Amino acid sequence: MKKPKIRFNGYTEDWEQRKLEDVMDTVTDYVAAGSFEDIRNNVTYLNEPGYAQLVRTVDLKKKFTNNDSVYVDESAFKYLWRVNLNDECIVLPNIGANIGEVYFLEPSGLPYDNNVLGPNAILLKANEDTYFAFTTLNNLTFQKQLFENVGSSGQPKFNKTELKSIQLYMPQNEEQIKIGQYFRNLDHLITLHQCKYTFFREVNVSTWEQRKLGDVAEFSKGSGYSKGDLIEFGMPIILYGRLYTKYETSISDVDTFVEAKDGSVYSKGGEVIVPASGETAEDIARAATVDKSGILLGGDLNVVMPNEDINSAFLAISISNGNSQRELAKKAQGKSVVHIHNEEIRNLVVPFPTKMEQSKIVTYFSTLDHLITLHHHKLHPAHIAFIYT
């Protein structure tokens, strides 16, 4: 019996130690059908779309982005029916360098209508919550037990019998579901952020026009307010620290307020704001747009107003991602606290596509930000008491 140190409110029962075979509805591999060579006489592999796609571990690893998919005909599909991927399931490679990788599959995430699992992998279906089981198999405790069963001579491998005997700690089904849903949302959130990173890593900017921001924007500073000035109700204000904790690319709703002072700086709508101070160079190289007029812009904010050829949200996205973000981070000055001044931003060179393409990219990122916000709400401490680790 075991109790985790951190868990959701309302759950106090011990977790029960159980064999993997007792908590998995199905444990299937190609032992019954034979090795890859043995089934070659019964299965015809196709290099063009056929009745079903053969899902291999390399397809899972590359998330079906590789261009060498393999298909099978209807007779092969029926021969391989025992590993038809028609429900949420978990796949473990059981031979070769991929041992220890764990993949979660759901039918909606597969690229083909009919799918069967390729050789050299084991299919698991949990009796209760599949995503909790997936999280558990990614745990170091499971991984350690798994590698204790991996053969030390020849090619690394383990079999179904060795896998079934591994011990797991399991809570009751209701707590499994809560934990599984939490990590499902967290993994989706990570995937959405990775989409942003991948876009700016892979996008071809060679045909975009390289422009120095000083040539396409005007620059100013916010006015001095601090957290000590905040009151419950008053004039809405953006403080630089909230760019790290609260806001995504576009700011329209503000939940911090102050009593306005003479000489304050108000937004006109369309400004791009960049923090002037931060803890690290990477953190400070970020930006957001202010969509509404009449919002106070606090101190330690660099304010950039692009001209009509530039979409403000696209500029904010560019500053916060990819090569532009890295170049701006290099310009940050200081040690314990780093600073970015308007002069560094003014000299930053950013690639720009046409205004129409800028708008399309902004729409793409706005959709991602909306989804990220939804997942943040699902993970917020107001909705759950503790995170399972």
pLDDT at 26: 63
- CATH assignment of the domain containing 85: 3.90.220.20
pLDDT at 382: 34
> Tokens standing for 40?
């070659």
d(CA 316, CA 285): 10
Shared-domain flag, residues 226 and 135: no
Q: Do the domain assignments include residue 371?
A: no
Shared-domain flag, residues 154 and 287: no
Shared-domain flag, residues 211 and 139: no
Q: What is the pLDDT along the chain (389 residues), one digit of tens a residue?
A: 577 777 787 888 889 899 999 998 766 544 334 455 555 566 677 878 888 888 888 888 878 877 788 888 888 787 776 666 878 889 998 887 788 889 998 887 788 888 888 878 888 888 889 999 999 998 878 888 888 888 666 678 888 888 888 999 899 989 998 888 888 877 877 776 666 656 665 565 677 899 999 999 999 999 888 888 889 899 999 988 778 777 778 898 898 999 999 999 999 999 999 999 887 887 788 899 999 999 999 988 999 999 999 999 999 999 988 888 889 989 888 877 889 999 999 999 999 999 999 998 888 888 777 776 665 555 543 333 333 33
Letter for the amino acid at 153? S
Shared-domain flag, residues 157 and 55: yes
pLDDT tens-digit map of 56-88: 888 888 788 777 888 888 887 877 766 668 788
Shared-domain flag, residues 23 and 165: yes
Q: Do the domain assignments include residue 365?
A: no
* Domain range enclosing 124: 16-170
Shared-domain flag, residues 157 and 239: no
Helix orientation angle between 312-320 and 322-331, rounded to the nearest 10 degrees? 70
- 214 to each of 28, 224, 353, how far by Cα in Å? 62, 24, 17
pLDDT at 1: 54
Contact 281, 318 (CB under 8 A): no
d(CA 74, CA 290): 56
Find all residues with CB under 8 Å of 121, minimum gap 6, and list them.
Answer: 29, 30, 56, 57, 91, 92, 93, 94
Shared-domain flag, residues 164 and 212: no
Shared-domain flag, residues 142 and 76: yes
pLDDT at 269: 94
Q: Do the domain assignments include residue 177?
A: no
- Residue 272's beta-bridge partner residues? 289, 304
Pairing of strands 301-306, 115-117: unpaired
- 177 to each of 13, 200, 346, how far by Cα in Å? 15, 35, 51
pLDDT at 217: 97
| DSSP states along 270-339 | SEEEEESEESSHHHHS--EEE-SSS-EEBSSEEEEEE-TTS-HHHHHHHHHSHHHHHHHHHH-EESSSEE
Instruction: Return the SS3 of 140.
Output: helix
Domain count, the chain: 2
Going by the DSSP 8-state scheme, the letter that residue 238 receives in this structure is E
Shared-domain flag, residues 105 and 163: yes
The CA-based angle 319-322-328, given to 5 degrees, is: 45
d(CA 350, CA 270): 18
Q: Do the domain assignments include residue 135?
A: yes
d(CA 178, CA 4): 14
Q: Do the domain assignments include residue 190?
A: no
Task: Count Cβ atoms within 10 A of the Cβ of residue 60 and give its class: 0-12 exposed, 13-18 middle, 19 or more buried.
Answer: buried
Shared-domain flag, residues 155 and 254: no
pLDDT at 235: 94
